[in-house]
Structure 1
Amino acid sequence: MAPTHRSFARDFTRRRLLTIGAASAGAVLAGSTAASASGKSWPAVIPLPDGFRPEGIAIGGGPYAYLGSLGDGSIYRADLRTGQGGIISTGPGTPSVGVKLDDRGRLFVAGRGFGARVVDVRSGEIIASYVLTTATPSFANDVFLTPRAVWFTDSYQPALYALPLGRHGGLPDADEVVTITLKGDWSQVPGEVVNANGITRTPDGSALLVVQSGVGALHRVDPRTGVTTLVDLGDAAPLTNGDGLLLLGRTLYVVQNRQNAIDVFTLAPDGTSGVLRRRITDPAFDVPTTVAAYKDRLYLPNARFTTTPTPTTTYDVIAVAR
């Protein structure tokens, strides 16, 4: 039987779904590695195949980045030590947007208007697919993993979708998708406008954080009710074109794609407020969308949204110091 909203809320209360677990610990542990193993001699630019059109990036406990193609949905694996890589999963012909990797070698992929899928990065096989909603228009944009659920944002609908995970990370059946409607401070901009985009959790694991791109706002979301409250970011400028989010400890990295920048905040433990610490920019940025960490570096794919994509358009991943 598909889980109801109420039973899912009870499970959240009992199990503390947002508390960090093995699925998301790799990036944090890797990020705290001693400087002697920082990989500073590794390449700062990692080339991707011509015409690849990257958007999402995921890095696990090892020195490999996984990227999805907005074109045909293929998955590319890059070795952070050498900058070399290759396609490990040929796409189904539909986009791959946000991606996240768990500690079982499963890559969870947001598929824009085509729901979500799960790719085994060892075999390249698509091991599960999900219709997240029948509402139109729909745009499954980004993904976040917790020990008990996989969360997806929808940029065109005021909703989050959760795939509840079973024992030992078991994948749910196709009819077990849970929809959480966003309310409270959330004000949806109608039409095909990017609303909900990047997603992560609060430092204490009590709620989700979602950036609303079009209005530049960061929301704290109660995953039991969908009620959102605006995060007080003080005098920081709006997070215009806010895209990927990365939380390491109490430090939140917010990618602002067309600004070619990452704003760095220190958050309150419950995520209700934050203080802007600095802005990271780099001349090599060309509309970076999302961010992942390994050791003392951040890795961002250049989506190049201001460049008309062609089969010969070049793309890459840029590494910058945290």
Structure 2
Amino acid sequence: MSHATRRRMATFAIAVACTAVAACGSTETAAQPAPAAPSTRITTAYDLPGDGVYPEGIAADPRTGDTYVGSFATGAVYRATPGAKKAEIFLPAGADGRKTANGLKVDQAGRLWVTDSTAGVAVYDIATRALIARFDVPGPAPRFVNDLAITPDGTAYLTDTTRSVVYRVTAAQVADAAANGGRADMTTQFDLSTVVAPHAPDVFTLNGIVADASGRYLLTVDMNVGELYRIALTPDAADPIRKVDLHGGNMIHGDGLELRDNTLWVVQNTDNTIARWTVTEDGAAATMDHRITDESLGLPTTLVRVNDQTLVVASQFDKGGPMGPGTPKPFTILSVDGS
């Protein structure tokens, strides 16, 4: 592992550690008892090739059922076909200058979006693996482009975990960038820096983000204090950015999100937890249904639902990665029944 990679991962570890300390020191957001979870079975869905992978993001192609996994440590992207026991390398480490691979999504046009926390997001043609366009965050660091959601009209919204903002990239901007050299800057669409709870400058805030199926709103989690925010996408909304009313628990250390109809899955990374919530039709409130906590989840960072199967990324960040010393087991994607 290169010195630059170790430095980047150490920076990530410091920021997450500060987030954990801030969350643990808050009496208002202390963990609450959750409803009992049903019987749970955690198995290996498929292996990831290589050492030092430290996976972070996952996405599914609804057309084929293929899943794509990104490496936070190297920027490599892996692909697994349905039923495969081992993923293959889809995009090699460092491809197109990418240093990390955090959030991933496949859009309706058959394109794979891959965020690089240090820079921005790249868009690939899945059929050819060719880079279509790349969008960078302008200005100096700090920045940490983390996760993304794509609405039905093809617009991508991306969280910046250090700046507490949400960027936007439209389908038209992708086409324009592709026709004009392949690169462009991202712009901020929503600024939540004055909305999220007060925090030290090096504490991580916004992390996972999802869009409802109709494109009416986004949901994004503040991992620092466990709050969820709804961002309205409809014109002239009375409350465009509001805190979601949470009942039965909180979302401290919330990482990846998955939203299907009115069911929201929340991965809480250092807690080794997956929580399932029911969200109201307007996205203004959510009630926890149940929570699964198990050390074998391996510090999960996100999940994706594929044909009623829950696939979970076991990052092992705390096993010789950005969040602790030690030796990791072989890197895998897990299947979690009962979630």
Matches within 5 A, 1:210-225: 210-223=220-233
Match of 2:196 in 1: 186
Check whether the contact 2:46–2:87 (CA below 8 A) recurs between aligned residues: no
Q: 2 CA distance for matches of 1:115 and 1:162?
A: 11
Check whether the contact 2:103–2:148 (CA below 8 A) recurs between aligned residues: yes
1:119 aligns with 2:129: no
Match of 1:80 in 2: 82
Amino acid at match of 2:167: Y
Match of 2:47 in 1: 47
Matches within 5 A, 1:1-322: 44-49=44-49, 50-61=51-62, 62-92=64-94, 93-146=98-151, 147-166=153-172, 170=175, 172=177, 174-175=183-184, 177-180=186-189, 181-182=191-192, 185-187=195-197, 189-202=199-212, 205-223=215-233, 227-236=240-249, 238-282=250-294, 284-309=296-321, 314-321=330-337, 322=339
Amino acid at match of 1:58: A
Check whether the contact 1:63–1:81 (CA below 8 A) recurs between aligned residues: no
Taking structure 1 as the reference length, the TM-score comes to 0.79
SS of residue in 2 equivalent to 1:284: helix
Of residues 214-223 and 185-194 in structure 1, the stretch that sits farther from structure 2 once superposed is 185-194
Structure 1 residue 105 displacement after superposition: 2.6
Q: 2 CA distance for matches of 1:129 and 1:249?
A: 31
Structure 1 residue 311 displacement after superposition: 9.7
Identity %: 29
Check whether the contact 1:203–1:270 (CA below 8 A) recurs between aligned residues: no
Check whether the contact 1:202–1:270 (CA below 8 A) recurs between aligned residues: no
Structure 1 residue 280 displacement after superposition: 2.7
Moved over 6 A (4+): none
Check whether the contact 1:255–1:288 (CA below 8 A) recurs between aligned residues: yes
Structure 1 residue 187 displacement after superposition: 3.2
Gaps of 5+ in 1: 1-42
Gaps of 5+ in 2: 1-42
Structure 1 residue 137 displacement after superposition: 0.5
Check whether the contact 2:135–2:185 (CA below 8 A) recurs between aligned residues: no
Amino acid at match of 1:156: T
Q: 1 CA distance for matches of 2:45 and 2:336?
A: 9
Check whether the contact 1:253–1:263 (CA below 8 A) recurs between aligned residues: yes
Q: 1 CA distance for matches of 2:129 and 2:184?
A: 24
Taking structure 2 as the reference length, the TM-score comes to 0.75
Check whether the contact 1:164–1:176 (CA below 8 A) recurs between aligned residues: no
Amino acid at match of 1:302: A
Q: 1 CA distance for matches of 2:73 and 2:334?
A: 20
Structure 1 residue 315 displacement after superposition: 1.0
| Deviation per residue, 1:8-52 (Å, 9 max, x gap) | xxxxxxxxxxxxxxxxxxxxxxxxxxxxxxxxxxx7431112221
Q: 2 CA distance for matches of 1:208 and 1:270?
A: 11
| Deviation per residue, 1:127-166 (Å, 9 max, x gap) | 2111123252100000111124111100000211000112
Structure 1 residue 201 displacement after superposition: 2.3
